[in-house]
Structure 1
Amino acid sequence: MDSPLTPADAWFATRGWQAFGFQHEVWQAMLAGRSGLLHATTGSGKTYAVWLGALLRGQKLNAPSRGSAPLQVLWITPMRALAADSTRALQAPLPELAPHWTVGLRTGDTPSAERARQDRRWPTALVTTPESLSLMLTRDRAREELAQVHTVIVDEWHELLGNKRGVQVQLALARLRRFNPQLIAWGLSATLGNLMQAMDVLLGGAHGALVQGRIDKSLLIDTLIPRDPGRFSWAGHLGQQMQQPVIDEIDRSATTLVFTNTRSQAELWYQMLLAARPDWAGVVALHHGSLDKDVREWVELGLKEGRLKAVVATSSLDLGVDFLPVERVLQIGSAKGVARLLQRAGRSGHAPGRPSRVTLVPTHTMELVEAVAARRAAQATRVEKRESPDKPLDVLVQHLVTIALGGGFTSDELYDEVRSAYAYRDLTPAEWRWALNFVERGGESLHAYPEYHRVQLVDGVYRVPDRGIARRHKLQVGTIVGDATMQVKYMSGGKIGTIEESFIARLKKGDCFLFGGRLLEFVRVQDLVAYVRKAERKRGAVPRWNGGKMPLSNEMADMMLEVLRGVEQGDFFEPELQAAEPMLVTQQRLSHLPTPQTLLIERHVSREGHHLYLYPFAGRYVHMGLASLLAWRLAKDRPNTFSLSFNDYGLELLSALPVDVSSVLDGSAFSTEHLLEDVLASLNSSELSQRRFREIARVAGLVFTGYPGAPKSMKQLQASSSLFYEVFRKYDAGNLLLAQAEREVLSQELDIRRLRATLKAMGAKRIDEVVLKHPSPMSLPLMVERFREQLTTEKLADRLDRILRDAEKTLQKTP
């Protein structure tokens, strides 16, 4: 008698493959009706582990059919680019294993004709995004259409787990389990540090199978060593020096992915490559999320077919798209996290048995130390944890309207269903009643406005009876919120992509800027489209997109301190540390090195005032909050004015008047007592909360972003959300969305949990105080961060030249 796994093994054999043990394990678990999480390295065969398991499960549950089968499998992906690639991969085994099955794709990019075909009959398996799945739940016949879905696969679960899009997935899974109690769910990931918790979130706390694919896949993390790192360095200092080494690496390889952390950096490096090698025009490309869909698809296809020599990309190419021709991966600057570095390394050698290699390209000398820390952390599998948001009420409010549209709900039944989602496991009856009241009557302050009576009780069931409200809700389902964007088009009509409205608003006619790898001249804005022409000038501004600065992760920061402790004991054995030795030795001569046991505090007096430097190594977000907190605490007894600067390693407090630092030296300034009150008092917390509330108002459906072809401007949206914010503050102080805004500021923008842990760690360390005669190599980058806000590029260069000349004189006098 044949094993149930025989068809899958046979299909593998036709490809010359042999299934790995973890793939068999997944197939057997899925056949047994078990949910789970599959954690395996990129390119090891995760896709076919769960997909063939879904096919085998479908054959077990359903009798063979001559016609096409109804919708049975949902494949949820975090990115549209990944969706198209996944669809192609899922179609491959169907002729042999499931000839009556079809695979479809439904995202925001799906053409209307294809949507209409799907509306008449769904495919057997549908590749979709969290937003499109939520839209499916708004359909009148949602229960009927989705009741036979027996398997849900969430690809790249780590990308969704820690944000509100992941909460959307949790709520959708809770709904689908209500439709079909036999439903199983599987998550896929290559980079997670908290596997059991990640599985609990996906499965709503239900028991599942954790499968780890142990594939002997070699990983090499190395570094392009700069010719002259120097004794002093700051952010971007080595960028230009690394141009030729990067070009040489690309030249030696067939196809290279050059990853950057920001879109601005991608635009600049693309220009730098073409400036040095104009013969690469057409074979070197640019890829980031603001470029037009057609441009991105052309680049992705060029990578697949091996037609491109190199692609400069952001996280838009991080995820599981299968680019077998990619031979090399370069990472410009630090990846800031172990998980991100492993994800990007996996873009090379994207197949079982092929080695993966990522080469780091430092943009300043401390990134050489980061490179060593990243390699050691990866070897020790110190991968970052991701945690689900806790009870985001804006997502819940949106979900209530979604379910009211998709057939309606009763309060008690939906409350139980929502609480089965991990994020809402602690949702109280009072919070539930508040959310229900908010969508039914607009809460305490909006009950006089009918447009906020979105849900009504009709014959014992909550529904959305107003067609206008229904249409507006469907147009803005989702939790992706950012600065409003505008299309960028040539005067001749060709589309280039989208760009933040706030950037365009600062341009005057004739201003030039880099975008899509081109130098463009701004002409005008008309109907929320920015019209441009090719510029004749040589230089222009580079757009600064939101979310450009990623903080150093805990795992990376802790490992950096361990690396520096080794350096203090004479460990310069790795090539990166040998290259960084002049800077590190200079730091030791002028000051000391921070270590896991010591908190380095530097003091310096200059013509600018009194400088106080601290190096907690807790990431820029924590340092931002910490700088404000310490300045506020130090100025409580004696009023003073501070200028603040911070980076991933430390922070600077600059004051005009001398500062009594005794509370810093004895550690009392690091107290966690009254931390919440002190942080809120030290910052413009009202402005931060109001900015965060704009996003919450959009997700909760308070602010409508406009109809297709007639979107509202960011100015209009800001005015609307600010009005709600003030109304709630004055007339509805108990509004839970206000409390959520404050909570998100503390947890996300300031990372209050990590700030509290950092203060405790600082208080437990031995204080290592140094009075500087000259700025140290670690303090200078903090000064440069502050200078950049005040000085032009030319004046900054003059100031730095003077500081470096003075440094050389100081070093000659220092033993």
Structure 2
Amino acid sequence: MSRTRAFRPTLADAERWFAGRGQKPFAFQREVWRAMRAGESGLLHATTGSGKTLAVWLGALLRLAAPESDAPPRRARATRALWITPMRALAADTVLALREPLAGLAGGAPAGCDVALRTGDTSSSERQRQDRSPPAALVTTPETLSLMLSRADADTTLAAVSVVIVDEWHELLGNKRGVQLQLALARLRRLNPGLVVWGLSATLGNLDEALDVLLAGRPGRVVRGRRPKRLLVDALLPERPGRFPWAGHLGLTMLDAVVGEIDASPSSLVFCNTRSQAELWYQALLDARPDWAGAIALHHGSLDREVREWVESGIKRGLLKAVVCTSSLDLGVDFAPVERVLQVGSAKGVARLLQRAGRSGHAPGRPSRVTLVPTHALELLEAAAARDAALAGRVEARDPPRQPLDVLVQHLVTIAAGPGFRPDALLAEVRDTHAYRDLDEGAWRWALDFVLRGGPSLTAYPDYRRVVVDADGAHRVADARLARRHRMAIGTIVSDAVMQVRFVGGARLGTVEESFIGRLRRGDCFLFAGRLLELARVHEMTAWVRRASGRRSAVPRWRGGRMPLSNELADAVLARLAQAGQGRYEGPEMKALRPLLERQQRVSALPGPEALLVESLRSREGWHLFVFPFAGRQVHLGLASLFAMRLARRAPATLSISVNDYGFELLSATPVDWQSVRDRSLMSTDALLEDVLDSLNSGELAMRRFREIARVAGLLFPGFPGAARGTRQLQASASLFWEVFARHDAGNLLLDQARREVLERELEIDRLRAALERMATCEPRWTELQRPSPFAFPLMVERMRERLSTEKLSDRLARLVADLERAA
């Protein structure tokens, strides 16, 4: 990989390197090596821990050694390979994995054959060193690659890149970070038309589309490296699942069983779906086993980077017995010592379950096992269904975004801040991506005008005239201050403003969202980083804390806590319910759930793939309607709001709404004729778009979405380090932009994008339409209840949870369950 010393590994060298480790390469690894050496691009889809990294990395080395790829770089030393990782947490581990085979292939450490790391965590001195002497291969993130494109010498420094590997492509495919990467790849292809690009994934349901997005329609090869690997999916069975479940009613009552599983295994990961849940379970495990202090740890994305790195190192070295974690450990770090994975609550998707199962047995030939810890009885049903779907290979697809103009606007300023651009040439480059292949001239001209003068409404403000046109026609960012602000804000990851959490003595613990700290007063206690903390003071975006000894505490709640049930898992759940309806209870989970499902059948009915369950009930609260489409929480929110609005059009009524992953409830304090549900008129897809927008506070939803779009497009500057702007400031600024555009620039395409993203991403309009169409064709199973059914009860609890404190809710539920059990 260096012109000062020949480093030209061959296929035979790769085979010998494996033999020296007492191994033989798999057929899919050899296939990738040959394809990459021949200059082919593609996508490798293989199980976690099966050897994907060695397949593409050794293939990259073989490609770089091929004579036809040996175009002279513009500098004596140049970076020739990029490894893109979606998470900074993975980057350091990836560098170690890539360095391992180099010396063995070369018969000693070759000069110039180096791998370096460059992310937002890389020190300025290390970046300067890399600029003086570029590494042959660079491990980086989409954001840092875009930052490199914003340098004036970007075309020179990146011209020699001839291989790009995108790790965990499924994590980027369905979001704006993936679009950001698509634009960067288009620029690299312009600099080197022979660029070889490979993606890696372990969990994807739409491989052909994923390949098309990665290669922008160019021919490529999909290599399926899924070797037979034992996958074990089971569940911890509660002694008394209960016949009237609700979310959280088991919860920590499963603690003793979890302690037993951890105790019986040398090393375990305990996955939780939210950071709040992880904090609670970590503290509960320590309370149950104080002797595990120092042997178990906590890991989630809001903890300080040094803490996370210490935990990751402890797992890899086999020093930790268990780690309670979130999706922060979902991806590719190789934790070979881990033998058990426990999942607290349903994973809600097949891909996520497979990803987490792969954290155990993370080596060729070793089985992967994941054990579900149910937080309510119906999650036993999800466990059985998830096993069915996983073994059948029914994995969720990731839908790529189409033409997000906020990302395009950011990219225009990025290139203008770097080498500059000419519009015609850059338009052709932008269209050489899947996301913008159909970009029309009108949208392109609007984007150009927006970066040149801020559109019709912001022309008077110099800060929004970010790009100027030179005398020779080149478009550049001439103001160094604006260029510096832009580089600090590059990226598409948008979240609420966060505050540092630090001990009064000075040690950093991590970050929490500003909105959570804003609800606390001095002296209030909360759980964070596995500790009980007391808020001492808040100053300059830092929450200063001290250790607390009290027992009453809050738990921080971060955004994105609830994940909806995926279509694939929902279909598998309905198939299991259909079997139960025929008296078939196969597997330990279904046998444990049998009393609950038989109770449901006696008082009502069971739904199925072709049967829609609808229940009505009159209680002291009023008139209830329960509908069970099994389409996921987000879709049910849309359906419930739609039904409520259409009913209110016919007769004035005030309806309360409750939703979960299985269905939704409508409640009226006054009599309602539910007969219209029987005639299916509420399920019509006519005028669906207009009705959905009318039924929800779509203006508020669009406003919230616009704040994120405005941040990506560069309208909102989050602030300099140490002086970050608060959430309220950003919200106020976003609201002001929204009002200005709505009044004076009605054709602003960012407003249209906000409305479109609300429909596509938040309301999931396509899934909602599909759910309505399926409901309209299903056999209705209508039951008028005398008391809540086991399926209806959790929806009533969800509604109570919104208006009762934890203590009052607990007392109320205890009485309700006792009454229902007596009646049963």
TM bucket (normalised to shorter chain) is over 0.9
In 1, are the aligned partners of 2:85 and 2:91 still within 8 Å (CA)? yes
Tell me the residue number matched to 1:352.
364
* Cα distance in structure 2, aligned partners of 1:359 and 1:216: 20
1:125 aligns with 2:137: yes
Does 1:221 pair with 2:227? no
CA displacement, residues 688-721 of structure 1 (integer Å, 9 cap, x when unaligned): 0000000000000000011122111111111111
Q: How does 1:798-809 map to 2 (within 5 A)?
A: 798-809=811-822
CA distance in structure 1 between the aligned counterparts of 2:433 and 2:676, rounded to whole angstroms: 45
After TM superposition, the structure 1 = structure 2 runs for residues 51-62 of structure 1, keeping only pairs within 5 Å, are 51-60=57-66, 61-62=69-70
Q: Which residue of 2 aligns with 1:506?
A: 519
Counterpart residue number, 2:5:
none
Mapped pair 1:552 → 2:558: no
- Counterpart of 1:333 in structure 2 is 345
State the 4+ residue runs in structure 1 displaced beyond 4 angstroms.
none
Give the superposition deviation at 1:10. Answer: 1.4
* Distance in 2 (alpha carbons) for counterparts of 1:219 and 1:808: 38
Deviations 1:741-796 (A, max 9, x none): 01111111110110010010011111111111001111111111111111112221
Tell me the SS of whatever aligns to 2:650: coil
* Matched residue type, 2:100: A
Structure 2 contact 9–105 (Cα < 8 Å) conserved: no
Distance in 2 between residues matched to 1:455 and 1:793, nearest whole Å: 54
Task: Note the aligned Cα RMSD (angstroms).
Answer: 1.3
Contact 1:610 1:658 in 2 (8 A): yes
CA-CA distance at 1:807 after TM superposition: 1.4
Q: Is the 8 A contact 1:610 1:656 kept in 2?
A: yes
2:21 is equivalent to residue 15 of structure 1: yes
Instruction: Tell me, yes or no, if the aligned pair for 1:337 and 1:552 is still in contact at 8 Å.
Output: yes
* 1:412 paired residue among 424, 436, 445: 424
Q: Do the aligned partners of 2:77 and 2:133 also contact (CA within 8 Å) in 1? A: no
Q: Distance in 2 between matches of 1:570 and 1:601?
A: 21
Equivalent pair of 2:302/2:511 in contact (CA under 8 Å) = yes
- Contact 2:243/2:599, CA 8 A, preserved across alignment: yes
Counterparts of 1:496 and 1:240, CA distance in 2: 25
Matched, 1:451 2:425: no
Q: CA deviation at 1:40?
A: 0.3
Figure out how many residues of one structure are paired with residues of the other and give that number: 809
**SS of alignment partner, residue 523 of structure 1:** strand
- Give 2:100's match in structure 1, choosing from 82, 92, 96: 92
Question: Comparing 663-672 with 692-701, which one deviates more in the overlay?
Answer: 663-672
Q: Please say if residues 68 and 124 of structure 1, whose CA atoms lie closer than 8 Å, have aligned partners that are also in contact.
A: no
User: Which residue is equivalent to 1:641?
Assistant: 654
Q: Superposed, which structure 2 residues align to 1:377-456 within 5 Å? A: 377-456=389-468
* Residue 685 of structure 2: aligned partner: 672
Contact 2:50–2:364 at 8 Å: present in 1 too?
A: yes
Partner residue of 1:538? 551
What does 1:177-256 align with in structure 2 at a 5 Å threshold? 177-256=189-268
- Given that 1:261 and 1:335 are in contact with CA atoms closer than 8 Å, whether structure 2 keeps it comes out as yes
Aligned equivalents of 1:101, 1:721: Cα separation in 2: 48
Aligned residue for 2:172?
A: 160
Structure 1 distance, partners of 2:805, 2:121, is 42
Q: Summarize the alignment of residues 112-151 of structure 1 with structure 2, pairs less than 5 Å apart.
A: 112-151=124-163
- Find out whether 1:40 has 2:46 as its counterpart: yes
CA deviation after TM superposition for structure 1 residue 313, in Å: 0.3
Which of the residues 271, 276, 285 maps onto 2:283? 271
Aligned counterpart in structure 2 of residue 29 of structure 1, from 13, 28, 35: 35
Q: Distance in 1 between matches of 2:252 and 2:708?
A: 38
d(CA) in 2 for partners of 1:304 and 1:802?
A: 48
Q: Do the aligned partners of residues 625 and 63 (structure 1) sit closer, same or farther apart at CA in structure 2, a change above 3 Å counting?
A: closer
How far apart, CA to CA, are the structure 2 residues paired with 1:489 and 1:636? 53
The alignment partner of 2:217 has SS state of coil
Cα contact 2:90–2:332 (8 A) shared by 1: yes
Query: SS of the counterpart of 2:62?
Result: helix
Instruction: Report the equivalent of 1:810.
Output: 823
In the alignment, is residue 685 of structure 1 matched against residue 698 of structure 2?
yes
Which of 9, 12, 37 is the matching residue for 1:6?
12
Structure 1 residue 660: Cα displacement? 2.2
Query: Which amino acid in structure 2 is aligned with residue 379 of structure 1?
Result: L
Instruction: Assess if the C-alpha contact under 8 Å between 1:634 and 1:660 holds in 2.
Output: no
Q: How far, CA to CA, are the matches of 1:658 and 1:475 in structure 2?
A: 58
Contact 2:533 2:546 in 1 (8 A): yes
Question: Does the CA contact (< 8 Å) of 1:303 and 1:325 recur in 2?
Answer: yes
Report which stretch shifted further, 680-689 or 94-103: 94-103
SS at match of 1:808: helix
Q: Report the 3-state secondary structure (helix = DSSP H, G, I; strand = E; otherwise coil) of the residue aligned with 2:512.
A: strand
Structure-2 separation of matches of 1:553 and 1:50: 31
SS at 1:423's partner residue?
coil
CA drift at 1:444: 1.4
Aligned match of 1:83: 91
Deviation of 1:3 (Å):
9.9
Q: Distance in 2 between matches of 1:209 and 1:463?
A: 38
Aligned counterparts of 1:596 and 1:129: Cα–Cα separation in 2: 42
8 A contact 2:9–2:61 mirrored in 1:
no
SS for the counterpart of 2:618 is strand
What is the SS of the residue equivalent to 2:535?
A: strand
Counterpart of 1:581 in structure 2 is: 594
Q: Secondary structure at the match of 2:787?
A: coil
Q: 1:806, 1:666 → 2: CA distance?
A: 34
User: Do the aligned partners of 2:372 and 2:383 also contact (CA within 8 Å) in 1?
Assistant: yes
Which of 569-578 and 304-313 deviates more? 569-578
Q: Which residue of 1 aligns with 2:295?
A: 283
8 Å contact kept, 1:773–1:810: no
The Cα of 1:239 is off from its aligned counterpart by 1.2
Q: 5+ residue gaps in structure 1?
A: none
SS at structure 1 position matched to 2:499: strand
Give the Cα–Cα distance (whole angstroms) in 2 for the partners of residues 82 and 369 of structure 1: 34
- 2:370 partner letter: V
Matched, 1:70 2:78: yes
Aligned residue in 2 for 1:651? 664
Aligned partner letter, 2:53: T
Q: Distance in 2 between matches of 1:517 and 1:214?
A: 38
TM superposition shift of 1:639: 1.0
Letter in 2 for 1:84: A
* Match 2:612 to one of 587, 599, 620: 599
Structure 1: distance between partners of 2:404 and 2:413: 15
Q: CA deviation at 1:8?
A: 1.1
Give the whole-Å Cα distance in 2 for the aligned partners of 1:78 and 1:311: 22
- Secondary structure of 2:802 counterpart: helix
Mapped to 1, the partners of 2:731 and 2:243 lie a distance apart of 46
Show the counterpart of 2:3: none
Judged with a 3 Å threshold, the aligned counterparts in structure 2 of structure 1 residues 269 and 3 are, in CA distance, closer, same or farther, namely closer
State the TM-score, normalizing by the size of structure 2: 0.97
Distance 2:147 2:578 in 1: 53
Residue 801 of structure 1, CA deviation: 2.2
Q: Does 1:629 align with 2:642?
A: yes
Distance across 1 between alignment mates of 2:93 and 2:572: 36
Aligned amino acid, residue 763 of structure 1: A
- Structure 1 pair 141–68 and aligned structure 2 pair: CA distance change class (3 A): closer
